[in-house]
Amino acid sequence: MTCPVDAYDPEFWVEATDEHPGVHVVEGPLEHIVKFCERSNTYEGVLHVFVEPSFSLDLSNEGGPWKLRLATGEDRELPRLRAQQGEALAVSDFRAKPETACLFSSKSGERILTVKLTARCDHDLSQWKLKACGHVFCPLCDGFVHPATRVALQGPGPIIKCNRKPKKDYKYFFRETFSGSENLTRACIDRFGAKRIEDSLDIKKGPYYDLLDKKVYEREKKRIKDRECYLEHFSPNCRTCSKASRNPRRWKD
């Protein structure tokens, strides 16, 4: 559909004529149907026309099954209601679909990209369990599920919950960080033997054990990721912590 510049008026309303039986036009304001095209210096757009079965429409001649008239107050209210209802239907339809992203037009005419940040539970209802609090829990999703929308707040899963290796695969059984007097370390050595207890860490042993040093921190982070120790114990001693801090506090003896 094209409209010359001198014939364009944003107050015009597009509607069907009575000259083409069985032909229906999607009515609306002219400004929503056509947009100005600098290349052709005219207003161009797409007008949707529906032709019922057993009827035909010939567009070879000039004109078409539509006409222009000035919009009334009731006409101007229709596009707003249509856009509002269209946005609500798009959101509702997107929630029910498995897709994680959707692009649609808002009631103000803006293009909106919406993304699902929550997962959807597609497991059978027989897998769900009703908790005492009244919420539905899915063991396969490892999280709670909304029974109507099936939105699932998934848990971390068994691998993240427990990334333990078999005990026999660990080189050390225990290691104490911020060991201080090392009473706990010595007790573990007496119980499990020195070979199964990793060397403890405390700043009083020297700068090589200072976690405020970036090199020491990166070394310790890599050591923990290697998962060679079964149990890491962190419990700062007050006196040791005061020495490690850049702003030491005064402690009573």
Is 250 domain-assigned?
no
234 plus 222 within the same structural domain: yes
pLDDT for 31: 84
Q: Which helix (H) or strand (E) holds 158?
A: helix 157-161
124 plus 111 within the same structural domain: no
pLDDT for 253: 46
104 plus 125 within the same structural domain: no
104 plus 140 within the same structural domain: no
16 plus 59 within the same structural domain: yes
Tokens 């009703």 correspond to: 130
Full domain range(s) for residue 26: 2-71
Q: Model pTM greater than 0.85?
A: no
Is 251 domain-assigned?
no
Give the total number of structural domains in the chain: 4
Lowest mean pLDDT among 54-68, 165-179, 217-231: 54-68
Measured CA to CA, the distance from residue 25 to residue 32 in angstroms comes to: 14
Q: CB–CB of 43/5 below 8 Å?
A: yes
pLDDT for 153: 87
Is 253 domain-assigned?
no
Strand order across the beta sheet in which 66-70 lies: 28-29, 12-16, 66-70
For 9-62, the pLDDT digits (tens) are 888 888 888 888 888 888 888 888 888 888 888 999 888 888 999 888 877 666
Q: CB–CB of 184/233 below 8 Å?
A: yes
Is 137 domain-assigned?
yes
67 plus 86 within the same structural domain: no
Measured CA to CA, the distance from residue 133 to residue 161 in angstroms comes to: 23
pLDDT at 238 over 60: no
Is 8 domain-assigned?
yes
Q: Report the chain's terminal Cα–Cα distance, integer Å.
A: 90
81 plus 149 within the same structural domain: no
For 89-135, the pLDDT digits (tens) are 888 888 777 787 888 888 777 888 888 777 888 889 999 999 998 99
89 plus 35 within the same structural domain: no
187 plus 232 within the same structural domain: yes
